[in-house]
Structure 1
Amino acid sequence: MKRPNKPTDYVFQVSWEVCNKVGGIYTVLSTQAKVLENIYGDDLIFIGPDLHGEEENPLFLADETILSPIKKLADEEGIPVRFGRWNVPGNPIVALVEYDNLRPQRDEIYKEMWESFGVDSLHSYGDYDDSCLFGWQAGRLAALAYGYYAGKNNQPTAVLQAHEWMSAFALLHVKKHEPRMATVFTTHATTVGRSITTNDKPLYTYFSGYDGDQMAAELNVQSKHSAEKAAALHADCMTTVSELTDRECSQFLGRQSDILLPNGFDPSFSYKGVELQVIRRRARKRLLTICNALNGSNLTEHAMIISTSGRNDFRCKGFDLFINALKRLQDNNGLERDILAVIAVPCWVKQARPDLLERLAKRPAIKVMDATGMPVMEAPFITHELYNYHEERLVRTILDSGLRFGPDEKLHLLLIPTYLDGNDGVVNLPYYDFLTASDYCVYPSYYEPWGYTPLESIAFGIPCLTTSLSGFGQWVSTTIGHQPLISDGVAVLPRNDENYWECVEEIAASIRGMSMMSASDWRAFSDAARKLSDGAKWKDFINNYLRAYTLALKNDN
């Protein structure tokens, strides 16, 4: 018997980021899980890669009693899988599959995909093999599970939703070998669009002149693009996260999305009230102490903390813009308040800095460390040692910018080049705890199909800036109905290929303005931010997924 609003009997969601915290798709799936699980219960199964083997994965709660008949069938079919639950709100069922046993069959799989769907795997390299073999294994498991359910129930309805090109082979496998299942493909960014950006080409000025296949060949991403395009063209329902990315789907993949799936947020992930105040004080104290230890300074709790963060997509995320805005702010002087600007971006980390840890060991337990009189440390802006310090683009840009460091500066910079999981050795705060320390967040993206970081920011009541080139920024503009200002909780900065230095000036001015803000004005902006986030919850957005499943079933028949 179907639950209310449940358009299918079963849903299989396949992603490389299930129980694997890599980027924004992890946030999409882990925060929607509770709402979708409330609708589907144990008829919702997430499928991800088993990358930990015998090592413990804190995100995966193994349970051998879950779907044991399917586990037995999988063993018989040579599909190594572990069932359990995802350690996130909702605790949905998860299947983690290994795929190494498919490597001897790789060429046969690629041949089948070429002959059936025109997927060109000849130009593969890097993570292509792992992603495609995972997708194939995930598709095998989903088809097997559906066959099991079909044996118990006459023709149940089921949808497989594949996220990104890494899961394309799951969709294509099901399309060919279990056509009774409907399929949804969701691209969170296009391979060609991201590649154009990361290769420092102007995406928007010449957008209408770019051919997807031609650019994929020029940028050496033919195979990834080919898999992505095949999944998009053969899915029963094509989806993406924003109008921005939908333009790319039409231009590069040859198919417009049937339904848009904007990303929501689950409020159970955020803190409020006294809990928020306690976590915020602790996080601020930690960041200010680290900065003081590096610079021999004495920033107090009255300093303003601003931050930017995200995956290490330097140009896409606008980190260059942020750093240049800081330099402009520092050069113009006139700051009346100390500012600590934090960049939290995972890099190739070697270890926590031993010299910094030694100095931090001397800090008082209660208040912010006063490091006055201590010498400025070498590289006084970074918390961890890197394997590629001199090659890391973030580091090079900071050094080349001419930013000044030391106790006499009003503006200080802190680069945290590691995942914030609470155990990095220096900051030792989970990301959301770290985020609460900020008074203002800046996300000046150039390429951002959605943009979770600003949504997370306002969910915690932190005013932020994003750009018109982010899907979230466009959603804010549409929701508010006018050019969003910081008084709305989110400022949306118009950005294009021609106004880089104008944006630098605008960001510098916005930071200066926020530093002069009264406490009452900041609270008003914070309240506006939180109110805006109330309209971007998964309970409001999940219906788009249900519409996609309904359409996929209709098109599959």
Structure 2
Amino acid sequence: MINAQRIADLVSEQKLTYPVALEVVRSSSLYTVHTPVPAGHDQFEEGLFAKYMTAFAHKMGLTWNELMDLGRENPGTPGEKFSMSVFACNTCQEVNGVSWLHGKVSREMFAPIWKGYFPEELHVGYVTNGVHMATWTASEWQKLYTETFGPEWNNDLSNPKLWEKIYTLRDEDVWETHQVLKRKLIEYIKGKYKKNWLKNQGDPGRVMTVLESIDPNALIIGFGRRFATYKRAHLLFSNLDRLRAIVNNPNRPVQFVYTGKAHPADGGGQGLIKRIVEISKLPEFQGKIIFLENYDMGLARRLVTGVDIWLNTPTRPLEASGTSGQKAEMNGVLNFSVLDGWWLEGYVKGAGWALTEKRTYDNQEHQDQLDAATIYSMLENEIIPLYFAKNSKGYSSEWVMYIKNSIAKIAPHFTTKRMIDDYLERFYSKLSHRSAQLVAADYAKAKELAAWKADIRAVWDAIQLEVVSMPDFTVNQFRVGNNYDVEVKLTNVGSLTGFGVELVIHNLKGEDTQKIKVAELEQTRIEPNALFYRLSYKATRAGSFSFALRIFPKHPDLPHRQDLCLVKWFY
């Protein structure tokens, strides 16, 4: 609710009206949404919200219902909860998701706020998350990078050309660097967990067997994250017979290390942890499936530097971004993940493995079964054979090439440096520039824009559209290559001229990648209380289409259409 406080401060201290204060606050605000999962978007019943916020409406210069409507998708709807995310969207000029796919999902999720526009037309953008190189990259890799890339590499982290120098390294150096960190992980696990396991797990023999069985020569696959149910930690355990065969091959040993925490109120997540722990205690999985409790940053740092593969299996498209895999690939750890979140952008063939982002089944249980079978198949037929295709020097040169590809082709695109560059370019700079314009000269531009919006709202309901000329497609066939003239008139506009009219063409073919085409009409003349518009449209595509005309407010100082989201459709 920081924007509520900022508005209240401007009303109180600068004596601004609410509409002007809102213009000022919005022009300097960005809402970064971090999840499409409903539990991540707090909503409050009006009674509970009123208990704490009743006095705040007056401080902002609003009635109670006006404050409630700022948090409602459907303003004026009694009983609709106050959504913190809707409030953020209504009080921020810009909104962004944290990956390309999450930006798309967020446009669809927030579309009900800005009625009259299709999701793909919304201003909601994205900046894909990145991770801080110096924090999450092991010192062994940092030393190797400095020697290979040069002493100034930390100042140019998002330069792909620099990272390509990893190919000049000897395979032995890459392999040994990873093996050092793998051995450190194993020693860390033994050192951290031995005492507690002996104290709490009741069977010293089993504990020592587990600890002694952690094998640096095995392919170690890590899974560490919040145990929310959409993360699907259970997928690997869908077919225990198949899993048993994978982990009990003496010639190709494979071990899985799981860790994570569930929210105290998340019974489903807690159940997943309980299930994994139970399986890990079965004789055939003892020392092959290992669950490490007390997940924290220290353990996370060891895992993302020491395992061979980082496994991620979220339900599409609920992984907003994910960053653990980004930390892993900077440390020579390969990703095996669903093409969701950041990995949809990051995946490069020959630098990791991916499960398709496309759903085969609407039924989630069936989709889970298919994905589990795909994981088993890829482990059995691709990943495990590649890892154990070792040469006379004791390592797989093909595996090392995957590591080099991952570092060269993926790492530079997922650093904090690149992320901050994107935020500056896409959001921060334009917010800073526009905010400075609006507050200059005692908020002159903000006051002007707020007054214009009030004038537009005053006449909006009365505006009518009259067709002056329009092709009649019930009589004349629509033909590709032909020009069609459209002329319309807006009435009841008073003395205002800031309105746009556009022809919206909707392709009715579901698979078409360009479903919406928009052509704005030109304002050709102004008469008392009326505006005239004209368009000559050339048909360029065949197919099945629907047509409509859309009216919207238009002003050069609006950052985007949704800043004053008034829309009228005429069919």
> Which TM-score applies when normalising by structure 1?
0.49
Q: TM-score, structure 2 length as denominator?
A: 0.48
